[in-house]
Every structure is written in C-alpha cells, then in structure tokens.
Chain A
Amino acid sequence: MECVFGLVGNDYAIVVADTSAVHSILVHKSNEDKIMVLDSHKLVAASGEPGDRVQFTEYIQKNVALYQFRNGIPLTTAAAANFTRGELATALRKNPYQVNVLMAGYDKEIGPSLYYIDYIATLHKVDRGAFGYGSYFCLAMMDRHYHSGMTVEEAIDLVDKSILEIRSRLVVAPPNFVIKIVDKDGAREYAWRESVKPDAA
C-alpha cells in the first residue's frame, strides 16, 4: 500500500514516498518516483490512483510554471497549495481525482511549510503529515520523536525510524522509499532507502 509522509524542520521540509507501482497483486516496478519537483523550491508527494496521480500532479506543475511565466515571480507554497485544493474541489463533484497530496515548499520570507491536501480537497498546513496505511505507523513515530527545530540529521533519523516501522509492521509494506528535501537551496532528491534492488531498466 502506498505510503507518503513528510515533516518540517527549522529551515527545511522533507517528504518521503514509497516507490512501488502496484496493480492488484502485481508489483510493476519498484523505483517509481512519486515525489514531483513542482518548481525550484516546491515538492509534491502524491499518492492514490496511478493515472490520476501523474495527470493531476503534472497539471499542477504546468500551471505553476505558467503563473511564473506570466507574472515573472513564482507562487508561494501557500498559493500553490490553495490552487491545488481549488482544482481538487472543483473536480470533486464532477469527476474526482483520487489523489492525496503532501506539498512541501520553502519561501524566502516564510521559511519551510508543509500542506496536507487529501483527495476530497481538505487543506491544512501541518508540521508533519502522512497518507496511506503507513500513516498509522509514521504519524505515531513522528508524534513521539518530532520536535520543532530538528536538524536535517535528526529528521532523517526519524524518517528511517518510520520506514523501519512500516517495513516491520505493515503486511503489504513497500520495500523501497525515496526521500526528497526542500530548503533555501532548492528542492532536490536526498536519498533512496532500498531493501529490494529495483529492476535494471
């Protein structure tokens, strides 16, 4: 089952997602990147229906880019999160997207932020959030060990603890995870956590 979680530190935000692409009982691939780099300082970790996930996040990415082209300045994380919520809310009573989103971003004046947007367009700014069956374990681990102003090393340690918990306690635990970070230097991949070497392709 798909696991996506994230947390905010003193000047960074981290999001983690599993990397299995699953169809019923079959694992198509185990190196599917579910965290999209929205723009230079934003990350969108999405989970849910695979087609909707890719289509919706690409749609958001292109619209965020369009805003920057038209207006010459990038959107803030809050603005991008509210735009995403608006798109999900508009589609909700017509043709809903089954995509849960954790949007992490860094703004120069505001600092790091994390937005929880679930598939029925509930938006909330959080310090730590998670989706999927893994959320039961991640949220508990983060509630226990998280404190505001964590360093990157402490946060990665917490992420590893959460991944260990998912691997040991979730019956359909995904084997591999990708960790991405966003801070003043931008959004980038931080590390992979692999317990099953993915296919060569």
Chain B
Amino acid sequence: MSIFEYNGSALVAMVGKNCFAIASDRRLGVQLQTIATDFQRISKVHDRLFIGLSGLATDAQTLHQRLMFRHKLYQLREERDMKPETFASLVSALLYEKRFGPYFCQPVIAGLSDGDKPFICTTDSIGAKELAKDFVVAGTAGDSLYGACEAMFKPDMEPEELFETLSQALLASVDRDCLSGWGGHIYVVTPTEVKECTLKGRMD
C-alpha cells in the first residue's frame, strides 16, 4: 500500500459565483482499520482562506502547524491577511524545500481573492501548483471525485446550489473508496459569511 493511502482521505474544492466551497471526508484510518470518524482535514487560515490537507495524517498535521506559524508571522509583519495566491505559493515553497524527503500530503487551497473572486488550487506532494477554474480534488478518492465533479459541475452556481452539488459529488465518490468516508465536512464561503456543515453519508 502506498504511503499516501496509509490514512485515507478525500478532499475537493469547487468554485461558484463569487463564492467557493471546500469539502472533505471524516475518516482517520490506519490502513484497513478505522481509528476515528471525526477527523478534521480542512482548517481555516483566515476568514477568506481555507486549506485542506490530504495524504499522510502526521505530515498533514506537521504541515498545518508550519503553515499556521508562517501565516501568523506574516500577519504580524504585514498587518493583514495573506492573499490566497500568495498562500498557495507559500505552500508550494514549503513543499519543494523537502524535495528529496517530501511531506506525503496533497493540499487543496481555496480562498476569495481580490474583488471577491474565488481562487482554488491544489499541489502535488512536492509543490507543483495546479490552478483550476472549476474544481480541484485530492486524496485516495481523487479519481472518483474527478468523475463526479466533472459530471455535476456547472459554472456560476449560487452558494445553495454549490453546497448541494459539492455534497453529492463528495458522498458519491467516497462511497466508492474504502479508505475514505464516514460522513463529510463542507465549508461554503461567500464574501459575507462562512457556512460550515457536517454531512451524513454511509457510515462504512
């Protein structure tokens, strides 16, 4: 089994009309065994920027701590929050620093940049950025997520429709992957508010 599949994960972010949504599954496993069903994969960097980390959980936790540290330092020095594009470059740089001994993580970054324009991005484990206009996926259920999102995505969805679409795409995909699932977490972010929901899916 690959090291990326040790803990199991599913992450997806999708763009809507002046909003974005980012969703993950809730399983923390150790190969075939499920340890917890309330694992948080997505964390808030600031009100308009979220990052999800899929892959090996220990590296996701370490990377998360390093990124929070770097962002807090940036906030102290610049007296403002980081823009999503800048943060994506920071993530990419941190990952490439470990080029020959990498973090086994695949981050998904989603934020609202200038003019409330939604920004989503994913990188591979050594920091190669992939910017997309519609959706980005990561984790063991990644292949299924590509299919589900491609089928269900429409451009310029309002927050409510985006929430429905992303939830259905996530739940459908994790049901085909034994290493991810046990419900979902979804954040729908608009310029005015952040809505956080827990999804009930197949608990197996």
Contacts and interface: CB of A to CB of B under 8 A. Distances in A.
Interface string B17-52: 000000000001010010110010000000000000
Interface string A121-165: 111101001000001100100000000000000000000000000
Nearest to B40: A124
6 contacts: A89-B62, A93-B101, A116-B35, A118-B58, A124-B39, A129-B35
Contact of A126 (B30, B36, B62, B101): B36
B75 interface: no
Interface in A90-123: 92-93, 116, 118, 120-123
Contacts of B33: 135-136, 139
B89 interface: no
B138 interface: no
Interface residues of B, number: 13
A126 B35 contact: yes
Interface residues of A, number: 16
A53 interface: no
Contacts of B101: 93
Contact of B61 (A85, A135, A136): A85
B28 A122 contact: yes
A184 B35 CA distance: 27
B56 A124 contact: no
Main DSSP-derived SS at the A contact region: mixed
B88 interface: no
B7 interface: yes
A116 B7 CA distance: 14
Contacts of B7: 122
B36 A124 contact: yes
Contacts of B56: 120
A120 B61 CA distance: 11
Given A123-B61, A129-B35, 6 more contacts: A89-B62, A93-B101, A116-B35, A118-B58, A124-B35, A136-B33
A121 B58 CA distance: 5
B105 interface: no
A93 B28 CA distance: 22
Contacts of B35: 116, 124, 126, 129
Contacts of A89: 58, 61-62
Contacts of B30: 118, 122
Which 3 A/B pairs are nearest by Cβ-Cβ distance? A122-B57, A121-B58, A122-B58
Contacts of B58: 89, 92, 118, 120-122
A85 B33 CA distance: 21
Contacts of A124: 28, 35-36, 39, 57
Contacts of A136: 33
Contacts of B36: 116, 124, 126
B140 to A, nearest CB: 16
Nearest to B6: A120
A164 B28 CA distance: 27
Nearest to A118: B30
Interface string A61-100: 0000000000000000000000001000100110000000
Contacts of A120: 56, 58
B30 to A, nearest CB: 7
A117 to B, nearest CB: 10
Contacts of A126: 35-36
A127 to B, nearest CB: 9
Contacts of A129: 35
B54 to A, nearest CB: 14
